[in-house]
Structures are given as C-alpha cells and as structure tokens.
Amino acid sequence: LFAGPIDFLKGVVAMSGLPPADRLEVCFAGRSNVGKSSLINALTGRKALARASNTPGRTQEINYFTLGEERYLVDLPGYGYANAPLAKVEQWQRLLKQYLSGRQTLRRAFVLIDARHGIKAVDEEIMSLLDSAAVTFQCVLTKTDKVKAKDREAVLKQVRGKLSSHPAAFPEILLTSSEKGDGIATLRAIIAGLD
C-alpha cells in the first residue's frame, strides 16, 4: 500500500525542526490519551513504532514517520490534560497549534475522539483552528471496543451534530479500535488514497 519503508524519522520540538515540506503528510491529533500513538502502531502493523502509554502526555514532540517514500505520518502531542510540567505542556501546545495552522503540506488532519466521550470543548477549539487554517480534518472515533454497539449511535449523533458547524470537517466519521483492529484497514486505505 505504501511503496517503501515505514520508519520513525525524527521528533520535532520547534517549527524550524520540521523536515522539508516536500511531500504529502497526514497527522493524528486529539486529546491526551485518546489513542493517537496506538493508532499509528495499529496502522503500520508495528507494535512499538510510536510510544504509547496509559499516562496522558506521553507524546511530547511532533513525531514524523515515513509511509514509504511519498508521505509522512505525523504523531502529535495531545491537547487537554497532560501529566507533565506546565511549562513543558504550554510549549508543546503552542507548537501543536503552529503546526496545525502552518504546515503547507498537511493534507488532512485526523482528529481522534474517544468513542466513550464524544467531542469535548478542547476538541472543538482545535477544529475551529483547522477551519481557520482551511485544513481538512476527519474525525476518528477510537477505543470502540470499550463501547457497546447499542451505545455507539448516541456518540455518533453528537459527533455528526458538532461537525455540521465546522466547514473544514470531512463528513465521513471512522470507527476504530487499535486493540481489536476494527476500522484500521479503512483508515489505511484512506491515507494511501490521498493525493
């Protein structure tokens, strides 16, 4: 699906450290602990490519991964509560916002939403920022293995309702479980199909 190696490229702590904007990239954004890094591992089929943990605030840099020769996959620090020193959190939140609104080659942002919780105020803040920057974003519900099928509809309804007021939102909502593998092939195909 991706021609060439899938590997960790680099961790970035300032906009000046970003790799040359010479190819399409997609990123995973979302609240701390929502499952961004786990989704990268599921997507690439590599158990520990991105570091995941139960402690919110695990990913503290913008981590670049190669998806073959032609695209980058970007794992972002979370927003919202993080178990880390405030000064550090503020620094990476600033970087996160600069990245999301100022990366020319960012083709689509996947905004991950915990399927148990739906869209929160902090998510909407990020979505508004993406609207302003005209970056198309697509919602991915994570951890669907933790929600009974009959309870999913209410969350989907909430998410659909919120998305309708965001012009940059891509309408299709993905349901995923990194744990069980649900929705992973679909997401992979979407990323591979972007041009």
Q: What is the per-residue binding string for ligand GTP in 129-168, x denoting contact by CB under 6 A?
A: -------------xx-xx----------------------
Radius of gyration of the chain (CA): 15
HEC-encoded secondary structure of 47-69: CCCCCCCCCCCCCCCEEEEEECC
Among 2, 6, 56, 133, contact with ligand GTP (rule: CB under 6 A): 56
70/190 with CB nearer ligand GTP = 190
Q: Is 54 in the site for ligand GTP (CB under 6 A)?
A: yes
Q: How many CA atoms lie within 13 A of 153 on its CB side?
A: 2
Residue 141 β-bridge partners: 113, 175
Joined tokens for residue 35: 């499952």
For ligand GTP, the nearest residue by Cβ is: 78
Q: CA separation (Å) from 126 to 16, 24, 55, 94?
A: 22, 21, 22, 12
Query: Which of 44, 59, 142, 176 forms a contact with Mg ion (CB under 5 A)?
Result: 59
Nearest of 157, 187, 160 to residue 35 by alpha carbon = 187
Site track for Mg ion across 17-46, x = CB under 5 A: -------------------xx---------
Question: Which residues contribute to the site for ligand GTP (CB under 6 A)?
Answer: 30, 32-38, 52-54, 56-59, 77-78, 142-143, 145-146, 177-179
